[in-house]
Chain A
């Protein structure tokens, strides 16, 4: 998967790239991201991380749900976002593909860049943005259609009508989601007949089919039993080879098992972001330590 997709420039005018400068903000407290440098650190020509947010704020009406969040997600890695419920981790995840747009009264300030392109630029095509960023939801949400039609859904949107190619890509996606062997002889059956874990893997296959650059997972295993959870976790480790994954989880063990980097959030702020091992063994922030040792949350 190439980093630079030339065509993406057609979505955003050249002048918009990197236009949203981070606001100058001296010593604004806890928002320190370990190892995260200012965007200026990326010298011209250097490769920018796949996903970058800079001083990102989000309000639901008057309630500020995200405060000055700055983080970076490098390519081909799994980043876990942890934190107590209501800390804004799902909100942050849904900011990356602008799913929050669906909620009335949402305002944002700051910058989110995916593949070097500004997500909140006025000229951004949200439909294309979401096509390039896959999302897997907390509860499996297959469409009430056949297994095949679920996976083919996004492909058909893109105008792929050729049956042979469609079948090839559906099979590919199902293989990547480690579901192919279980469903190969019942592709025409309703997706709702699958078990919860299978449904969730089907949703992953559905997202993979349109070849997203980033895969967002919002507590993908929270509605599943331990066996199904283990399979999803294995799958995430496999998918890392090809995709950039950001995963929200309320389960710290899960974050420790599958992620390369972990971000800890608390009441809308990013407290700490670092290598998973380091964050769990030698947290830099007192708050992080308190959380991972179970003192609150």
Chain B
């Protein structure tokens, strides 16, 4: 079979193999570090909240009493505040965001769509503290003097719109959160709509669909992705801290009215953490962080499952383009 290939000098072969292994090992260690950090987050929040968990058990989640002086802590008002403010935000932002995404992807001329989407994406990078300032100094006066009096006058018979026009409160928080998650929902949904095959639209139109009926077909095909975008937005709203802290009014009570001040899990941590006196108080706050962590984890997991499940059998659609 002729002369065999000369082997590399054995020393060099060993050195190279070692270098390759070492390099790979180093990178693997970095990758492992991602795990370590995740583990640290779990460990720290679990350890820090241990005292509170042992003291209150499950009643921590069902009690509405938050009394640092008496040393009794229940997180229900904050859980409620987080869910209601985020729910309100989704109620406002999902229809608006979807409509805007459809406009940008389907109706607007390509150049207009690109330009607006670019601006919307930039707005996603505005820090939350800036939204907070705007909510506090611009939106709150508007709500106090215009929108809330109007709501009270016309819809005041509903418990939802009972009370006084404070300007800050659940409504303000919901609106600010909606504005904050809109860029996420709009730009992701637009991208998803643009990536659905053009031929679907053409097929619908060629069958005699009106424009909105053709859009319906496209939305139907894009549903899993859009659902993912919406839930991603929800995850953001749940954990949002600064803007909410500035506009929600920070009152630890449950009130049916959207005009009343409230508090969220994130806002109570931001407000009280540095002032927490005593181990139990601090531990209760850390347990709130743990609950918030678990909640966002669940939401993200559900989002993934939903998308995965909804995308099942539809993968071929995504492939045709």
A–B in direct contact per CB < 8 Å? yes
Contact check, B109 vs A203: say whether CB atoms are below 8 A apart: no
- Whether the Cβ atoms of A210 and B207 lie closer than 8 Å is yes
In the complex the two chains form, is A128's CB within 8 Å of B206's CB? Answer: no
Contact B314 A135 (CB under 8 A): no
**How far is B204's CA from A149's CA once the two chains are assembled, in angstroms?**
13
Tell yes or no: B199 within 8 A of A by CB.
yes
A144 to chain B, nearest CB (A): 4
Most buried by B among A104, A130, A139: A130
Interface residues on B, range: 20 to 34
Which single member of A104, A154, A192 contacts B316 (CB below 8 Å)? Answer: A192
Tell me if B221 and A154 are in contact (CB < 8 A): no
B197 adjacent to A141 (CB under 8 Å):
yes
Cross-chain contact A137 with B202 (CB below 8 angstroms)? yes
Chain B residues in 8 Å Cβ range of A135: 202-203, 206
Establish whether residues A131 and B203, one from each chain, have CB atoms under 8 Å apart when the complex forms.
no
Contact of A206 with B by CB under 8 A: yes
Chain A residues within an 8 Å CB radius of B208: 127-128, 130-132, 154, 157-158, 210
In the complex with contacts A137-B199, A139-B320, A144-B314 CB distance below 8 A: yes
A83 within 8 A of B: no
Given the complex of chains A and B, what is the CA–CA distance between A154 and B110 in angstroms?
28
B59 at the binding interface (Cβ < 8 Å): no
Verify A193–B206 contact, CB threshold 8 A.
Answer: no
Residues of B within 8 Å of A132, CB to CB, are 208
Whether, in the assembled complex, B217 has its beta carbon less than 8 Å from a beta carbon of chain A, the answer is yes
Q: Shortest distance in angstroms between B60's beta carbon and chain A's nearest beta carbon?
A: 45
Question: Which residues of A pack against B, CB within 8 Å?
Answer: 97, 99, 102, 104, 127-128, 130-135, 137, 139, 141-145, 153-154, 157-158, 190, 192-193, 203, 206-207, 210
When C-beta atoms are compared, the residue in chain A nearest to B317 turns out to be A144
A157 touching B209 by the CB < 8 A rule? yes
Q: Mark B177-217, 1 if CB is under 8 A from A, else 0.
A: 00000000000000000000101111111111110010001
Tell me whether A190 and B203 are in contact (CB under 8 A).
no
Q: How far is the CA of A141 from the CA of B220 in the complex (A)?
A: 14
Beyond A141-B197, A141-B320, 20 additional pairs, beta carbon < 8 A:
A97-B206, A104-B109, A104-B110, A127-B210, A131-B207, A131-B208, A135-B206, A137-B202, A137-B206, A139-B199, A143-B217, A144-B221, A144-B317, A145-B220, A153-B204, A190-B313, A190-B314, A192-B313, A206-B203, A210-B207
Complex CA gap A104/B108 in Å reads 11
- Provide the bound-state CA to CA distance between A207 and B217, in Å: 16
Contact across chains for B206 and A130 when beta carbons are under 8 A apart: yes
Q: Is the beta-carbon distance between A102 and B207 smaller than 8 angstroms? A: no
- Contact (A127, B313) CB under 8 Å given A99-B202, A104-B109, A145-B220: no
A141 engages B316 (CB within 8 Å): no
Q: Is the CB of A143 within 8 A of B206?
A: no
Nearest-CB distance from B124 to chain A (Å)? Answer: 28
The answer to whether A127 touches B209, judged by C-beta atoms less than 8 angstroms apart, is yes
B317 touches A192 (CB 8 A): yes
How distant is the Cα of A144 from the Cα of B201 in the complex, in angstroms? 12
Given contacts A157-B213, A192-B313, A192-B316, contact A141 B199 (CB under 8 A): yes
Please judge, given known A-B contacts A137-B199, A143-B221, A144-B220, whether A157 and B110 are in contact too, CB under 8 Å.
Answer: no
Complex alpha-carbon distance, A236 and B179, angstroms: 54
Distance in angstroms between the alpha carbons of A154 and B200 in the assembled complex: 13
Complex Cα distance, B313 from A190, in Å, reads: 8
Complex-state Cα separation, A102 to B203, whole angstroms:
12
CA of A132 to CA of B314 in the docked complex: distance in angstroms?
Answer: 30
Can you offer 28 A-B residue contacts whose CB atoms are under 8 A?
A: A102-B202, A127-B208, A127-B210, A130-B207, A130-B208, A132-B208, A134-B206, A137-B199, A137-B202, A141-B197, A141-B199, A141-B200, A141-B320, A143-B200, A143-B203, A143-B220, A144-B221, A144-B314, A145-B220, A153-B204, A153-B207, A154-B207, A190-B313, A190-B314, A192-B314, A193-B313, A207-B206, A210-B208
In the assembly, what is the distance between CA of A206 and CA of B316, in Å?
A: 19
In Å, the complex CA distance between A130 and B217 comes to: 16
Segment 283-321 of B: residues with Cβ below 8 Å from A = 313-314, 316-317, 320
For the complex, give the distance between the alpha carbons of A143 and B217 in Å: 7
Can you name the residue of chain B whose Cβ is closest to the Cβ of A153? B207
